[in-house]
Structure 1
Amino acid sequence: AAAARYGAWRATDRGRPLDPDGVDRARARALVEAALSRGSGPVRLDQEQTADLLACYGLHLWPALPADDVDSACAAAERLGWPVALKAAADHLRHRIDLGGVRLDIAGPEELTEDLTQMREHLADLGAGDARFEVQRMAPGGVACVIRTSEDPRFGPVVAFGLAGDAVDLLGDVSYGVAPLTDVDVSEMVRAVRAGPRLFGYRGLPALDVGALEEVLARAATLAEDLPEVYALELHPVVVAEHGAAVLGGRIELAGAGRADGARRALPE
């Protein structure tokens, strides 16, 4: 049976290796080397550096502006455009609507002032009274996903995909691939998660722009393949709507390259 399954896999069209357009590998390499030269050991990029490196691979990270008080929050919202989302900037609160760390679809200054005041009081009760905040323009409604890559010394860049929230955090509903990937690999990863039907018109909901989501996943996988110094990458959330996919949050950690290329998977010739 195993031989039959392997034969079927070998006979299946595995697609074409990923080759997204608009990639600036030379600039990406320069950014990575510059960041690593400024410190020893793992380096976590700030948001500007993260956005710059992602942009080299055609990934647009939506800006989030810091907001220390009502005036700066309203100024950020005016600059980005209403409606906006207000988020606690701490890592353990950034995506936690259940903990009161996020307020969405804020339409104007009065609502933003009220929400910021309430969030400060609520987070103080949770022991996070010194929480910092960020303002970000609201993305079109859709399904939030998470894309991660990690550098394994034996396998190279491991790429993970799932629908954000309980599906990933509690149920481990995640699909994996080892770069280099193909377009077929990317398509299968999106469809392999059990919560995947939510992307395709589940129970009368509109079908979402899965093609745009696959483009984000493909570009993230290509970045991880090209840059072994990217020790960890996380795009969270990636909100896929009826038209387009928005990368609302990103995190990149760099470390010295230690990849052993010989054992990594490659398509048979």
Structure 2
Amino acid sequence: MIAEPDGRAPGTRPFGPPAHVEVTSARALVHEALATGGGWLPYNRTVELLAAYGIPILPAGTAATEAEAVTAAGRIGCPVVLKAAHPDLVHKSDTGGVRLGLTDAAAVRAAFPAVAAAGRPGTGVLVQRQYDRPVELVAGVVHDPLFGSLVLLGLGGVRTELSDDRALRLVPMTDLDAGRMWRGLRSAPLLTGYGGAPAADTDALEDLLLRLGRLAEDLPEVAELDLNPVLAGPDGVIAVDAELRLTPVGVEPDPRLRQLRAAAQLGGRG
């Protein structure tokens, strides 16, 4: 084991602030949302918060009518995905709120009514370009009453609820945590070229995880953040969908107690 310049061993030094993080604007957004009740943030506000931490998410257009959806699809380029734009609607694919693989204007028009109906009246739909990359992951932040904020990574897409292939890390994350998270997954070979597929950009994945860790550390009001799926390929990683829930902060667990509890209760997990 090689010691770090400050004398501490790798894995014992908290990771410093990532580049291009705007903590002040993120905190202002959180306080504004909590002043009106908190809960699930609207999609556009979620994207703003992620942007403050440099977390990449696929651009989306908003459409209130079939004609606007067709126009957005033409601007973005087909194939596209339509999604219900409803801040309280989680797991949209389970409620008819997602239509994939729409290859032309006629398909967009046909899909629009059902997707719009799955959301809240008047909220319209989101239109995104559909990309196929080798691996779909889920990443995010969860809040545990015993351990506090944790960063999560696992196999994503529609299989995430069926898979127990996940890793959790306390914040603050150390300089080695992000790499250990993805390497500890049973599905890690999918990221390194399994079966001759292109290897994913794991440096970009680690950067994403460290940014999530910093967000969780700075904003304990984030009770839940779900990026699913996160597309991982040789040219980087990008979130396709994001859902974020805010709650007022209670008493956070003492960091030293969290570390001891983690060693005793989470130590055997990836």
Q: Under TM normalisation by the shorter chain, which class is it?
A: 0.7 to 0.9
Aligned-partner Cα distance in 2 for 1:211–1:96: 32
- Residue 260 of structure 1 is matched in structure 2 by 253
Say if 2:90 and 2:243, in contact at 8 Å, map to a contact too.
Answer: no
- Residue 75 of structure 1 is matched in structure 2 by 71
2:99 maps to a residue whose letter is V
- Residue 17 of structure 1 is matched in structure 2 by 14
Aligned-partner Cα distance in 1 for 2:97–2:117: 15
Aligned-partner Cα distance in 2 for 1:63–1:129: 19
Say if 1:155 and 1:260, in contact at 8 Å, map to a contact too.
Answer: yes
Deviates more, 1:217-226 or 1:144-153: 144-153
Structure 1, unpaired ranges of 5+: 1-10
- Residue 221 of structure 2 is matched in structure 1 by 229
Aligned-partner Cα distance in 2 for 1:93–1:74: 24
Residues 70-106 of structure 1: per-residue CA shift (max 9 Å, x gap): 3111111233x21242233164663469x793322x4
Change in 2 beyond 3 A, CA 1:68/1:32? closer
Deviates more, 1:130-139 or 1:230-239: 130-139
Equivalent position SS for 2:153 = strand
Change in 2 beyond 3 A, CA 1:153/1:129? closer
Equivalent position SS for 1:264 = helix
C-alpha RMSD over aligned residues: 2.7
Normalising by structure 1, report the TM-score: 0.79
- Residue 209 of structure 2 is matched in structure 1 by 217
Percent of residue pairs identical? 33
Aligned ranges for residues 91-240 of structure 1 at < 5 Å? 91=89, 94-95=92-93, 101-104=98-101, 106-107=102-103, 111-117=104-110, 130-131=117-118, 133-139=125-131, 141-165=133-157, 168-240=160-232
Change in 2 beyond 3 A, CA 1:112/1:103? farther
Aligned-partner Cα distance in 2 for 1:226–1:179: 10
Aligned-partner Cα distance in 1 for 2:83–2:20: 33
Change in 2 beyond 3 A, CA 1:155/1:77? same
Aligned-partner Cα distance in 2 for 1:26–1:129: 35
Q: How far off its partner does 1:16 sit?
A: 4.2
Aligned-partner Cα distance in 2 for 1:163–1:228: 25
Aligned-partner Cα distance in 1 for 2:234–2:248: 40
* Among 19, 41, 45, the residue aligned to 2:41: 45
Q: How far off its partner does 1:48 sit?
A: 1.5
Equivalent position SS for 1:148 = strand
Equivalent position SS for 1:224 = helix
Say if 1:144 and 1:164, in contact at 8 Å, map to a contact too.
Answer: yes
Aligned-partner Cα distance in 2 for 1:78–1:187: 39
Aligned-partner Cα distance in 1 for 2:12–2:97: 44
Change in 2 beyond 3 A, CA 1:101/1:192? same
Say if 1:101 and 1:119, in contact at 8 Å, map to a contact too.
Answer: no
Normalising by structure 2, report the TM-score: 0.79
Residues 47-88 of structure 1: per-residue CA shift (max 9 Å, x gap): 111111111111133232233443111111233x21242233
Structure 2, unpaired ranges of 5+: 1-7, 120-124, 261-270
Residues 199-253 of structure 1: per-residue CA shift (max 9 Å, x gap): 1100111111111111111101110111111111111111111111112111111
